[in-house]
A = this chain, B = another copy of it.
Amino acid sequence: MSKVYQIATIDSNNIPHVRSHVSRGILYPKGSPSLPILLTSTDIRTAKVTQMLSNSRVELAWWMEGSQEQFRVNGRAYIIPPPSHPFHTMQSFPPGSSLEKLTQRGADDSDYTTSEGGYDWEKKRREVFNAMSPGMKASWATPPPGTVLKSYDEANSWPSTLPRLEEADNDEDRKTLEYALGNFALVLIDPLEVDWVQLGIKPNRRTKFTRNESLGDGDEWTEEITIP
């Protein structure tokens, strides 16, 4: 299964943007196996974060080369920044949404359940960061992404690897890790529509799933078979 999908967003000039993301897993609110929430990560300083905060509707395309299948997931994106970041209070999960359910009830994975029975987003954010490779961790410790450089060589002065949080054994690493973690954000995508095309079987199949939000607390999806 491919771990890379592409997320499309819209900027304030009404221009679309799309870039590849690495899947960091799929979360389900406890007791709701039909409400997947897609998890990926980003640098809080990138343009896509601003785009998602001002227009949360996004679509992702997840192409599976092996089986020639494509999942197109249209939904709402939410950012989980560090608790101290100004963006922290800019979004709230809509009532009845999968994300609200997850936050209130926790996930089936009990590692991230708070003492009140909800989901511990900050713990998850730190652990997703911690699980990254040493080189990936260092990519959040650069100056702001998109900044213009005089030459590629400038990058040689930045940290190229960072240890796990609990393995930092000097002040410099600890300080750099703190800075990197301060730029690290989770991206959650709460699906409203899924368009699934199977090109690996003949005749090709296409199935569209639509979450009926007006159902409120329900977990139901409407399923339609359509022409590919």
Contact = CB atoms under 8 A, between A and B. Distances in A.
Contacts of A228: 139, 142, 145
Contacts of A57: 14-16
Interface stretch (A86-94, A164-172, A197-205): A197-205
Which residue, of A9, A59, A158, has the highest number of chain B Cβ atoms within 10 A? A59
Nearest to A225: B149
B135 A202 contact: yes
A61 B204 CA distance: 25
Interface of A: 4, 6-10, 14-20, 55, 57-61, 63, 65, 70, 72, 74, 135, 139, 142-152, 155-156, 158, 160, 202-206, 224-228
A149 B14 contact: no
A224 to B, nearest CB: 5
Contact of A227 (B65, B145, B203, B226): B145
Given A18-B60, A145-B227, A148-B224, 11 more contacts: A4-B63, A7-B18, A8-B17, A8-B18, A9-B16, A10-B10, A16-B16, A18-B18, A142-B227, A148-B226, A155-B205
Q: Copy number of this protein in the oligomer? A: 2
A76 to B, nearest CB: 11
Contacts of A9: 16
Nearest to A51: B16
Contacts of A206: 145
A55 to B, nearest CB: 7
Contact of A203 (B148, B158, B204, B224): B158
